[in-house]
Amino acid sequence: MSIRVEKIDSITNVGNLDLYKVRQVLSSSKIPTEQKIKFIKKNHSEISHLVDQKISSTDFKTIMDNRPLKLFRPLKNSYTKAGDKRLLAIALGIKPMEVDGYIKNINLQVRSMQDLNAMGISPDKYEEVKTYVFRHGTKEQLINFLDYELSHAKNIIKMLYHTLEYNSGGIADYFIRPIHRLDNGTMLGIYNTIDKNLKASRASGKINDVQAQETAEWALARIYKIQNNQRLQNAIKLKKTLE
């Protein structure tokens, strides 16, 4: 079963929607972002009805990964955040007003490196919260979840290369938004977290000395690049404002 999309009308008028079809449209690499946005707007009521009925961990992650945020559009993104929180509440099976407390609780467990299963937090629930945190969480939460991810990574180098690249749903994408300023303190916190986990992986024999050193240097250069990209974006925004 597949959806072929050639024209905008063909996705704005898809009949008998189900979550499978919605996921196919949103995850398609052949459909431009503008068409996906129009698809969401055109089918907003139907999609809302679907997610009210059922949404899995995979469904939630797919929607988050393919729901674009807009540069320099804080009001638009605030509306999107509210929608994302509602989707997370449905995925977790709780009320929207309970989401912030739920995230804070998991953040405490993650920060102290607790066994989440022992705390009654399933892998699916953790993944749903992590996806949301890497999109809308606080900087502190972001660093805590990064630390937890790296400490449990089967391949720490692969994970780092993924999260520090754009369009990955990771660190780089979090700081593409001007509202999430990559200040020097946060940059230091991120790098120290990466360096600590690389040293731990080297000590446990998962990576060698050369891999640890080269990856640490690459990560530091990459973080600086992300920060400089953000400064460039803010300069462009200021220029447009003054024109």
4-53 pLDDT, tens digit each: 433 434 444 445 666 667 767 776 778 887 787 788 777 777 776 665 55
Compute the distance between CA of residue 143 and CA of residue 145 in angstroms, rounded to an integer: 5
3-state secondary structure of 215: helix
Integer CA distances (angstroms), 9 to 3, 20, 21, 171, 195, in order: 13, 19, 15, 35, 49
Is residue 171 exposed (0-12), middle (13-18) or buried (19+ Cβ within 10 Å)?
A: buried
Q: Do 14 and 3 touch, CB atoms closer than 8 A?
A: yes
Non-local (6+) Cβ contacts of 218 within 8 A are: none
Measured at the alpha carbon of residue 84, what is the angle toward residues 127 and 19, in degrees to the nearest 5? 75
Integer CA distances (angstroms), 37 to 12, 60, 73, in order: 10, 17, 15
Compute the distance between CA of residue 24 and CA of residue 165 in angstroms, rounded to an integer: 24
Using 50, 70 and 90 to split pLDDT, how confident is the model at 54?
low
Using 50, 70 and 90 to split pLDDT, how confident is the model at 119?
confident
Neighbours of 157 (CB within 10 A): 18
Query: Could you say which DSSP state residue 202 is in?
Result: H
Compute the distance between CA of residue 88 and CA of residue 80 in angstroms, rounded to an integer: 12
3-state secondary structure of 168: coil
Give the tens place of pLDDT for each residue, 120-149: 889 999 999 999 999 999 999 999 999 999
With 0.75 as the threshold, say if the pTM is over it: no
Measured at the alpha carbon of residue 69, what is the angle toward residues 68 and 70, in degrees to the nearest 5? 120
Using 50, 70 and 90 to split pLDDT, how confident is the model at 110?
very high
Residue 178: left (phi > 0), alpha (psi -120 to 50), or beta? alpha
Integer CA distances (angstroms), 213 to 18, 105, 146, 157, 198, in order: 48, 35, 19, 11, 8
Mean pLDDT of the chain: 81
Instruction: Give me the half-sphere count of Cα atoms (radius 13 Å) on the Cβ side of residue 138.
Output: 7
Percent over 90 (pLDDT), the chain:
42
Per the structure block, which two tokens stand in for 24? Answer: 């196919």
Give yes or no for residue 241 having a pLDDT over 60.
Answer: no
Integer CA distances (angstroms), 34 to 12, 173, 226, in order: 12, 19, 25
